[in-house]
Structure 1
Amino acid sequence: MAEFVYFVGLCFLSLLVAVPWGAIAADEDPLQDICVADPNAQVKVNGFTCKAMANASDFVSPILRQAGNTNNKLGSNVTAAGAANFPGLNTQGLSFARIDYAPGGVVPPHNHPRASEVLFVVTGTLRVGFVTSDANSTLFTNTLYPGDLTVFPRGLVHFIINVGNSQAFSLSALDSQNPGASLLPSVLFASNPTIGDDVLEKAFNIPQTEIDMIKAALKN
């Protein structure tokens, strides 16, 4: 019996070593072929419950056909397709996004806590980058052109800016149906309730007046 327990334990440890931690952190594998989301279901689970009857239209979506409005402070617009607005994606561990950029438009530093992201440039010239989470906080940055791909590793802070002279357009695939997005400026200076100003003063080594200016700018 002791030998059997030892053998099972050894197999388990070997499995932990062999399986990448990124795979363990990904969405759960589906337990059926399809599970079309029912956003109106009364029962709440980790995701969406399956609606009783699926049809072909549940597996197609026009969400990304139209360009997003970039007439805003950031000069960018993210149109996301996930299980909430594209029910056929439910339990598939995937989401998709279209990003439109005015000249100089930016997607500010942010991260996706539950997903890696692959970005494909359709039109325009984009400068992108991400920062590692180790003590060095290393920045990896590149300039991308139509047809180029880049990857933003899971959970790492990254940004995108249109450095061309015309509108730009990219597509992103993420390996979670609900990747989440934490925009650093909003998380730090516009949370609800807000982080204490005494914390922000010490963290950024700036006076209260500058904190007030940043908060006011984010509200406008």
Structure 2
Amino acid sequence: MKGVQYLVAFVLLALASKLVSASDPGPLQDFCVAINDTKDGVFVNGNSARTPSLQPQKTSSCLASTFLEIHQTKSLVRIDYAPYCGLNPPHTHPRATEILVIVEGTLSVGFVISNTDNRLFTKVLYPRDVFIFPEGMIHFQFNMGSTNAVAFFALNSQSPGVITIANAVFGSDPTINPDVLAKAFQLDQNIVKQLQSRFWWDNN
């Protein structure tokens, strides 16, 4: 009798694992050929891929970093970081793992795991180094060097999503009640209001 119970339990677990196996659907199109003439192109959502620029991109005054989307689904991006201060601020991709390859300069990168121990994994990267940011983890990149840094990153989803922590928390519209943020961050309410009054950038 126990053998039958084990068999039934095993079958139910096998079926349950099939039913709860949820993931990003397979890509509708997993390549995008960069072209010079739109007549010859392969398109994603009506748009062609871009040829990656070898020229440094202008950096914004807020972040001192600039994004150049190579693939129309935002799953392949070049980012330029200004010396000493170029930053891709703490953010998360709820539906994608990110892989970053640095091709120029020096970057300090890291991610924080779960709420259980909030452990930080960090590393300084040099040209040809690779770093992986797991799906859903809060992560960042910062140029601590004296020269420009350039990196390419790819995401394993056509819809990775991005939530920039400071933008979401202090730049929401309408604003989150300052009492909530003051208690959550253990800050004076005036500091919270000051943070909420600042211009929050769009790095999507």
- The TM-score normalised by the length of structure 1 is 0.72
- SS state of the match for residue 80, structure 2? strand
AA of the residue aligned to 2:172: S
2:110 to 88, 112, 129: 129
Secondary structure at 2:60's aligned position in 1? coil
Q: CA deviation at 1:207?
A: 1.6
Q: Which runs of 5+ in 2 are unaligned?
A: 1-5, 33-38
Q: For residue 134 of structure 2, what is the amino acid of its counterpart?
A: P
Spell out the pairing of 1:70-219 with structure 2 (5 A cutoff): 70-84=59-73, 95-103=75-83, 104-219=85-200
Q: Distance in 2 between matches of 1:35 and 1:96?
A: 11
Alignment gaps of 5+ in structure 1: 1-5, 38-54, 86-94
Superposed CA offset, 1:177-213 (max 9, x none)? 1111111111000111111111011111112211122
Match of 1:29?
26
Following superposition, the deviation at residue 25 of structure 1 comes to: 4.7
Q: Is the Cα–Cα contact under 8 Å of residues 82 and 178 in structure 1 kept in the other structure?
A: no
1:64: which partner in 2? 52
Cα RMSD (Å) of the superposition?
3.2
**Which TM-score applies when normalising by structure 2?**
0.77
Return the letter of the residue paired with 1:10. Answer: F
Count of matched residue positions in the alignment of Structure 1 and Structure 2: 185
Distance 2:57 2:23 in 1: 29
Residues 123 and 169 in structure 1, CA contact (< 8 A), matched pair in contact too: yes
- How many angstroms apart in 1 are the aligned matches of 2:109 and 2:180? 30
**Identity value in percent:** 39
| Cα distance change of structure 1 residues 139 and 201 upon mapping to structure 2, 3 Å threshold | same
